[in-house]
Structure 1
Amino acid sequence: MKNTLQSLRTFLSRFSMAALLAAPSSLFAAGASDYAIGADVSFLASAEERGTVFKDEGVAKPGLEILKDNGYNWIRLRLFHTPSNSERFPLPNDLEYTIELAKKAHDLGFKFLLNFHYSDTWADPSKQFLPKAWEDLTHDELVEAVFTYTRDTIVAFREAGVMPDMVQNGNEITNGMLWPHGKLPENEDNFAELVQAGINGVDAGRGNLPRPKIMVQVESSGNKAKTKRFFDALFARGVDCDVLGQSYYPWWHGSPLDLRETLNFMATEYGKEVMVVEAAYCWRPTEYTEHPGPFPETPEGQREYLETVHEILLNVPNGLGTGIFWWEPMVHIRPGSTGGIGSRGMFDDEGNALPVMDVFNKWTRGKVPQDAAEGG
């Protein structure tokens, strides 16, 4: 761990964060107004409805306003097919909830990434459950269902005035999606057909509006070889996209040097935009003690993590590192709990913004929220 941190600091010393923050936007192919400073806020409306109060410098404000005030210009919202609402852990992310949250963000000038899980619950590398409504379908019927569902969903967002600016068809699909039909590596052809059906659904639903950017997200940011195998196989089957997304949680995905190697490879190998579309780090020690991350689990360590990932993205070759999304900055610790995802949020137990919140303020100099609002 000590050697890893030393190597990281040696790398970062080439371009100090202070120098990057002071540099003109022409240093990067994507200027400040084009770089996605994003947050997945899928739980936000649910948290605020339960009475959670968020404060920035002691002033209580709606969560989205705090993000805007601190340079954020994108939101990411996940969508479940028919989410379960168990008392223990309700999942609010159905179509109606997601449209309403997208409207609130749109009114503040945020751009919007829609994340289809194609499941009734969490989809990730360890599980990609079919929606209950699709469990008895043949593969060909499933392909048609994915197309129709995606098309109709995009139409619903378009008619509500909140057409997504970017869409990802599947969440962390390194090991496939809609198992067993699209499970990898055994069903690569079926998997490609399912991804393409989702992309086709976006095209069919957008009407005369510009096509949203299409993202494909994996979670192999610390494994260049695995990343290459996935995208080589997908592209060989004719599937295309605009943005390559990665998740980066250090306790699962390795050091920042591993992340740097993988992102740089993706940009040079495929010539596409790359984003870290899920990022988060704990502000207090709570979990993953067997695989600790490379930064202290403190408020300052959390801030250093985000600064480091941001800097790595800004130095991706050819200006193709185009954004980062924090996963659930407003997720709040549950009463009586000291662990879980609440420790990865950007607020402490009293709802006060942590130091990580203002990482982007100097870099954007207030430009990003204004530019995003002007772009509608």
Structure 2
Amino acid sequence: MRRRTLLAAPLVAAFGTMIAPRAFAATGPRVRGTDLSFTLQEESAGKVYRDGGVARPIEQILAARGSNYVRLRVWTAPPSGYSTLQTALTLGRRAQQAGLRILLDLHYSDFWADPGKQPIPAAWSGQNLSTLATTVRGYTRDAVTAFARQGSPVSMIQVGNEITSGMLFPLGQIYRSDGEHWPEFATLLKAGIAGARDAGAPSVMVHIDRGGDNGGSRYFYDHLQAQGVQFDVIGLSYYPFWHGSLSALRANLNDLSTRYNKDLVLAETSYPWTLGNGDSLGNFVNSASQLPDGSRFPGTTTGQAAYFEELRAVLAAVPNGRGAGFFDWEPGWLPGVGWSPGEGNPNDNLTMFDWSGNALPSLRAFRAGS
């Protein structure tokens, strides 16, 4: 997730899976996770999380509520204090101790990467495509290996973050002034996947941001299929205020599940529990008009909880049990930690804890049962 920018070119997909299908209704989604990458920064800022008035580390609260995965972001050279491989390893140890599996989210950038920008790390600049592919493969292999060495192995890995328009710009950028460059992008993506396989990662996700856009999703994954990219899980970001109604999400998931015969995971989602603002920076969502299903799911604590119940129902109805699950994006990102040093938090009303760190009713979404 990051501030959204429009793609320069229109986006109007993939084989196998490593998440074995089984009945959803009795167990709930098989993947019930959260991205907790800001946790160390929140704790350094003095934030405390409570459930039922009892203070505990956030990963322990979520595990007790039924969560079984954590998603951890890695940047190559971010500002001091932000997500690095070392901070991800620290959180990975804590996740493993809480009984949570790990989805590793490699951005392959010094700082934020999203559909509108995928900047190549400064340390990798000047490399040609072949050399960069070798770098990507080794970097990915080493990152996955580091988790295994400390006893918190990665269960799933994203090779890139929201790579709808490519990765590692400009060499891996798909949409350029002279047309579309899928082979170059695929070369780098395959290198990352090879590095993950080298280190024994059991499941590889390819993640884009088109949760409610079936045409855009097909366009991307069809091109990956044409390029011979082999991976396991389709990952989608789905934020209703950017990606459309739940009915649009349902239609997309149902089509993709049969078209590509792959498990589908919502790698990022969130919903407001208030339309208020916890700091001086404007929020992504501040008006009921931004919520396509707002009449059913208002921006309140009960509306947020109802949204997640409907999301579970949408996933449960995906054909062949392919709606594997979801990750809520940064449920504990409370006011006080910014996008970057000196900035505010535009996400503070999309959390699953209130501004005092108290658990909200939406945490029920992580239960294992139906």
The yes-or-no answer on 1:364 pairing with 2:354 is no
Matches within 5 A, 1:99-110: 99-110=89-100
Q: Which runs of 5+ in 1 are unaligned?
A: 1-25, 366-376
Q: Which position in structure 2 is the counterpart of 1:292?
A: 291
Relative distance call for 1:348 and 1:142 in structure 2 (3 A) is: same
Relative distance call for 1:338 and 1:118 in structure 2 (3 A) is: closer
Flag the structure with more relative contact order, 1 or 2, with Cα contacts below 8 A and sequence separation at least 6.
2
Which of 61, 74, 81 is the matching residue for 1:79? 74
CA distance in 2, matches of 1:114, 1:47: 20
Q: 2:24·2:316 contact (CA, 8 Å) conserved in 1?
A: no
* 1:178-230 alpha-carbon deviations (Å, 9 max, x no partner): 11111124220011111100011112223xxxx42010111111110110010
Pairs aligned (count): 330
More helix by share: 1
Q: Which position in structure 2 is the counterpart of 1:232?
A: 222
Relative distance call for 1:247 and 1:291 in structure 2 (3 A) is: same
Which of 55, 62, 67 is the matching residue for 1:67? 62
- 1:334 deviates by 2.8
User: Which is further off, 330-339 or 340-349?
Assistant: 330-339
- 1:155 deviates by 1.8
Q: 2:110·2:121 contact (CA, 8 Å) conserved in 1?
A: yes
- 1:103 deviates by 0.5
SS in structure 2 at match of 1:343 = coil
Tell me how large the CA RMSD over aligned residues is: 2.1
* 1:244-283 alpha-carbon deviations (Å, 9 max, x no partner): 0111101100000000000111101000000111010111
Q: Which position in structure 2 is the counterpart of 1:187?
A: 181
Q: 1:30·1:322 contact (CA, 8 Å) conserved in 2?
A: no
Q: Which position in structure 1 is the counterpart of 2:347?
A: 341
- 1:34 deviates by 7.1
CA distance in 1, matches of 2:268, 2:316: 16
TM-score by length of 2: 0.85
Q: Which runs of 5+ in 2 are unaligned?
A: 1-20, 276-282
TM-score by length of 1: 0.83
- 1:49 deviates by 2.7
CA distance in 1, matches of 2:97, 2:322: 29
Q: Which position in structure 2 is the counterpart of 1:174?
A: 164
SS in structure 2 at match of 1:182 = coil
Relative distance call for 1:268 and 1:340 in structure 2 (3 A) is: same
Relative distance call for 1:30 and 1:118 in structure 2 (3 A) is: farther
Q: Which position in structure 2 is the counterpart of 1:142?
A: 132
CA distance in 1, matches of 2:345, 2:170: 32
- 1:28 deviates by 2.1
Q: Which position in structure 2 is the counterpart of 1:327?
A: 329
Which of 338, 356, 361 is the matching residue for 1:350? 356
SS in structure 2 at match of 1:246 = strand
Q: 1:287·1:339 contact (CA, 8 Å) conserved in 2?
A: no
CA distance in 2, matches of 1:69, 1:160: 24
Relative distance call for 1:99 and 1:33 in structure 2 (3 A) is: farther
SS in structure 2 at match of 1:177 = coil
Q: Which position in structure 2 is the counterpart of 1:16?
A: none
CA distance in 1, matches of 2:301, 2:328: 15
- 1:99 deviates by 0.6
SS in structure 2 at match of 1:75 = strand
Relative distance call for 1:335 and 1:101 in structure 2 (3 A) is: closer
CA distance in 1, matches of 2:162, 2:22: 31
Q: 2:33·2:70 contact (CA, 8 Å) conserved in 1?
A: yes
- 1:335 deviates by 8.8
CA distance in 2, matches of 1:271, 1:331: 35
Q: Which amino acid aligns with 2:327?
A: F
